[in-house]
């Protein structure tokens, strides 16, 4: 009798040290966070509820829409996270198989999923880089 391999849960590949921001936080602060810390996604949290996400790609879109040649933190000082965040969050539960995350991110339209516990509280994110590291490990 052959034993089936247990699926690897998202919890084994996700990023747990996630910087977050609030909807009222200045976009310039998020810009600085993305640049200084080398992260690409910042979940936007209102209380204990994740209400949006801002990615480095979103900031590039802001610059393009404003006709900016260069994006600087000062140019974003008067805008708030809530003004530009993506609100259609893609989520995955902490104990779902990593294959679920691979399928959702593999479609190409998103690069990060918010990872939730069973109380729907964010416990991390899983990104395309997390999945790449998982797929490349022997």
Q: What is the pLDDT of residues 96-120, one digit of tens each?
A: 999 999 999 988 788 999 999 999 9
CA-to-CA distance for 104 and 135, rounded, in angstroms? 15
- Does 77 have pLDDT greater than 80? no
Which range of residues forms the domain containing residue 28?
A: 10-136
Running DSSP on this structure, what letter comes out for residue 7? P
Report the CATH number at residue 111: 3.10.580.10
Mean pLDDT, rounded, of the chain: 87
Residue 1 has pLDDT above 50, yes or no: no
The reply to whether 113 falls in a domain is yes
Residue 4 inside a domain? The answer is no
**Which H or E element spans position 131?**
helix 128-136
Strand ranges (DSSP E) for the chain? 41-46, 49-55, 91-93, 112-116, 122-127
How confident is the model over 14-68, as pLDDT tens digits? 999 999 999 999 888 898 898 898 889 999 999 889 999 999 888 888 877 776 6
- Asked, for residue 128, whether it belongs to a domain, the answer is yes
> Which pLDDT belongs to residue 37?
87
**pLDDT for position 38:** 85
| Domain count of the fold of the chain | 1
| Nearest of 98, 137, 105 to residue 5 by alpha carbon | 98
**Residue 110 falls inside a structural domain:** yes
**Is residue 17 in some structural domain?**
yes
Residue 96 CA to residue 115 CA, distance in Å, equals 10
């Amino acid at each position: 009798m052959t034993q089936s391999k247990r699926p690897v849960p998202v919890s084994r590949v996700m990023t747990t040290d996630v910087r977050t921001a609030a909807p009222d936080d200045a976009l310039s602060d998020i810009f600085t966070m993305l640049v200084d810390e080398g992260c690409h996604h910042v979940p936007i949290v209102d209380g204990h509820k994740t209400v949006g996400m801002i990615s480095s790609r979103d900031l590039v879109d802001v610059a393009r829409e404003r006709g900016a040649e260069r994006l600087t933190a000062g140019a974003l000082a008067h805008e708030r996270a809530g003004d530009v965040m993506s609100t259609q969050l893609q989520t995955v539960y902490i104990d779902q198989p990593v294959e679920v995350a691979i399928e959702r991110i593999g479609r190409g339209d998103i690069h990060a999923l918010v990872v939730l516990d069973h109380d729907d509280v964010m416990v991390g994110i899983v990104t395309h880089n997390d999945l790449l590291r998982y797929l490349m490990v022997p």
